[in-house]
């Protein structure tokens, strides 16, 4: 192994230093993040908690390259994000990051297979390969028999599984989920967390925002954000957590 590849393996996936984000609307300047430091290593599954309006989604948008910070430094997989052009950022986002949202954000007029295949259209993948890969992902989340159905015909938990299949289709290093169980009952929420645990075991790094203490208790690391500041990080406390995966605390 060369020194170069050893360095790459040891590189944190996310290294954010002193991140400041200000929203400017007319005369009003709102400091949503007031100097956040965060390092996420490959293989972690981490929950972000905190009151409504504390800056959780803002932080996730910055990590996911959906928004830019005003001050600070961000290294994604060792690359300085600020020095990338818009196109390079878009490419890094497509290659490295998958997103899951509370409201699922599926295309209602498309069947499940086409929903899952959508990111592959942007990536220019040929139609037959798109179909095969989308079906493989649907199988992985247990929904292959529903491939021809539309989002309106399935339950909330199933919709979120489709959204996760779509987020995973490019095999991202980092899966970001903003309140992924927020619209689900507790049973469907647990099933989604089982799926995250499975994806995490097979190597995907996961960062999820949740209001639900029971959901957060099922990750090894929990960050707490209050009023734009990170006030606690359980890394090191729970790092050696011996609670078996899939033992639920909700």
Residues found near Mg ion in the complex (CB under 5 A): 57
Tell me the closest approach of the beta carbon of residue 237 to ligand ADP, in angstroms: 22
DSSP 210-223: -S-HHHHTTSSEEE
Contacts by 144-148, CB closer than 8 A, 24 or more apart? 146/112, 147/111, 147/112, 147/113, 148/111, 148/112, 148/113
Interaction of residue 222 with ligand ADP, rule CB under 6 A: no
Shortest Å distance, C-beta 205 to ligand ADP: 20
> Considering only residues 3, 25, 85, 87, which one is a binding residue for ligand ADP as defined by CB under 6 A?
25
Q: How far apart are CA 7 and CA 22, in angstroms?
A: 34
Q: How far is it between the farthest Cα atoms of the chain? A: 55
Nearest in space to 215 (alpha carbons), one of 172, 175, 173, 186: 186
If one asks whether residue 108 binds ligand ADP (CB under 6 A), the answer comes out as no
User: Cβ closer to ligand ADP: 24 or 202?
Assistant: 24
- The answer to whether 27 contacts ligand ADP (rule: CB under 6 A) is no
Instruction: Please say which residue, 63 or 147, places its beta carbon nearer to ligand ADP.
Output: 63
200 binds, among ligand ADP, Mg ion, none (CB under 5 to 8 A by kind): none
**Total number of residues that touch ligand ADP (CB under 6 A):** 12
96's CB contacts (< 8 A; 6+ apart) are 76, 77, 172, 173, 174
Q: Does the protein bind ligand ADP through residue 169 (CB under 6 A)?
A: no
In the complex, minimum distance from the CB of residue 101 to Mg ion, in angstroms, rounded to a whole number: 10
Cβ 76 vs Cβ 65: under 8 Å: yes
Residue 151 per-residue DSSP state: G
Out of 7, 30, 107, 127, point to the residue binding ligand ADP (CB under 6 A).
30
- Shortest distance, CB of residue 232 to ligand ADP, whole angstroms? 15
Closest distance to Mg ion from the beta carbon of 178 (Å): 6
Tokens for 57, please give them: 């989604």
What is the distance between the alpha carbons of residues 95 and 123, in angstroms, rounded to a whole number?
9
Which position among 15, 56, 130, 221 is part of the footprint of ligand ADP (CB under 6 A)? 56
Strand (E) or helix (H) holding 56: helix 56-63
What is the smallest separation between the CB atom of 111 and ligand ADP, expressed in angstroms? Answer: 32
Nearer residue to ligand ADP within complex by CB, 57 or 222:
57
- Residue of 101, 67, 99, 48 whose CA lies nearest to 215: 48
Q: Which does 30 bind (CB under 5 to 8 A by kind): ligand ADP, Mg ion, none?
A: ligand ADP
Chain residues binding ligand ADP by CB under 6 A are 23, 25, 30, 32, 50, 52-58
């Amino acid at each position: 192994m060369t020194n170069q590849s050893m360095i790459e393996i040891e590189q944190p996936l996310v290294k954010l230093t002193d991140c400041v984000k200000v929203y400017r609307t007319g005369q009003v300047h709102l400091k949503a993040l007031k100097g956040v430091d965060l390092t996420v290593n490959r293989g972690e599954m981490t929950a972000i908690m905190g009151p409504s309006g504390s800056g959780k989604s803002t932080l996730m948008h910055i990590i996911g390259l959906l928004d830019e910070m005003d001050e600070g430094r961000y290294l994604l997989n060792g690359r300085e994000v600020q020095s990338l052009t818009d196109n390079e950022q878009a490419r890094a986002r497509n290659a490295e990051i998958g997103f899951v949202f509370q409201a699922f954000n599926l295309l209602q007029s498309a069947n499940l297979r086409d929903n899952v295949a959508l990111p592959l259209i942007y990536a220019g993948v040929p139609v037959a390969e798109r179909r095969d890969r989308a079906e493989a992902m649907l199988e992985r989340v247990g929904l292959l028999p529903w491939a021809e159905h539309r989002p309106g015909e399935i339950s909330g938990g199933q919709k979120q599984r489709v959204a996760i299949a779509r987020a995973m289709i490019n095999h991202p290093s980092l899966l970001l989920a903003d309140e992924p169980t927020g619209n689900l009952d507790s049973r469907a929420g647990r099933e989604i967390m089982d799926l995250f645990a499975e994806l995490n075991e097979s190597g995907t790094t996961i960062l999820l925002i949740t209001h639900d203490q029971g959901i957060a208790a099922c990750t090894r690391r929990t960050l707490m954000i209050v009023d734009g500041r990170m006030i606690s990080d359980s890394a090191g406390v729970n790092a050696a957590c011996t609670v078996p995966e899939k033992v639920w605390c909700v």
